[in-house]
Chains A and B, each alone.
Chain A
């Protein structure tokens, strides 16, 4: 059962464009939604994350929009650059257990972004 659905599978934009990647989740217990960027041969790197108490979060050129009622969230990359070409993963997790520690992340299947010069 896939708990986080990500689309599109691949995306090609021109430099300066604004690619948008969408994710939908099913588990209403999820309350942490990070986005990871992964380059070939590397591990995923945390880009930006949001919790459901806000509808939007910006960090540099990256923006997360969150719609709690629709159980959807999306990543926007402003003024995209060829160096942004990578695979992007959305993820979700429930709150930590009372004993503490991190909860497991449930990932989408990824979106391969290509930004042409």
Chain B
């Protein structure tokens, strides 16, 4: 049973560029959440997708956007990259209905902005 997968593993961009990160949820899961983890910090919630719609959003600017596809996979897009966007971006999936709020994380995409 494949867990949560993310691509690419690593990415290097320059300021002002745009980036797209991808996530495939754990088999059978229908909800995808994205988190940003800065070095030495805990993950911070960006947004969550369910039924192809953004269901809730954390305190992130509109430069961060996303999408969920009919097969439940998801993309995170970041426009006009800033140096401060350098972080590990984590995707987590969960199931509705399912075990209470249990979220499974992928290995993450390490984004470096130069």
A positions within 8 Å CB-CB of B: 4, 6, 32, 34, 36, 41-46, 49, 51, 89, 91, 93, 96, 99-110
The SS class assigned to the A binding surface is loop
Across chains A and B, the number of contacting residue pairs, with CB separation under 8 Å, is 76
Having A34-B101, A91-B42, A104-B58, one finds 17 other A-B pairs with CB under 8 Å, namely A41-B107, A43-B4, A45-B105, A46-B102, A46-B104, A49-B100, A89-B42, A101-B55, A102-B33, A102-B94, A102-B102, A104-B48, A105-B33, A105-B45, A105-B92, A105-B101, A110-B40
Give the shortest distance, in Å, between B73 (CB) and chain A (any CB). Answer: 16
* CB-based contact B107/A102 at 8 Å: no
B positions within 8 Å CB-CB of A: 4, 31, 33, 35, 40-45, 48, 50, 55-56, 58, 90, 92, 94, 96-97, 100-108
**Residue among B35, B58, B101 with the highest chain A CB neighbour number at 10 A:** B101
CA distance A6 to B42 in the complex (A): 10
Contacts of B43 in A (CB 8 A): 44, 89, 105, 107
